[in-house]
Amino acid sequence: MNSGSAIGIVETSSIAKGFEIADTILKTAQVELIVNRTICPGKYMVVVGGSVDAVQSSIEAGVRAGAHTVVDHFVIANVHPAVFPAISGTTHLPEMKALGVVESFSVASIIEAADAAVKATPVQLITIHLAMAIGGKGYVSMTGDVASVQEAVEVAAKVIQRKGLLVEKVVIPRPRREIVREFI
In this predicted structure, the answer to whether residue 3 has a pLDDT above a threshold of 50 is no
Distance CA 158, CA 32 (A): 29
pTM over 0.85: no
pLDDT per residue as tens digits for the range 131-184? 666 677 889 999 999 999 999 999 999 999 999 999 999 999 989 877 776 655
Instruction: Give the residue ranges of DSSP H helices in 67-170.
Output: 83-88, 107-120, 146-161
3-state secondary structure of 76: strand
Residue 166 CB partners (closer than 8 Å, separation 6+): 102, 103, 104, 105, 157, 160
3-state helix, strand and coil shares in percent for the chain, rounded to the nearest 5: 40, 35, 25
**pLDDT tens-digit series, residues 9-67:** 999 999 999 999 999 999 999 999 988 988 878 889 999 999 999 999 999 999 999 99
∠ at Cα 168 (62, 162), nearest 5°? 45
Domains delineated in the chain: 5-77 (3.30.70.1710), 83-183 (3.30.70.1710)
Q: Three-class SS of residue 37?
A: strand
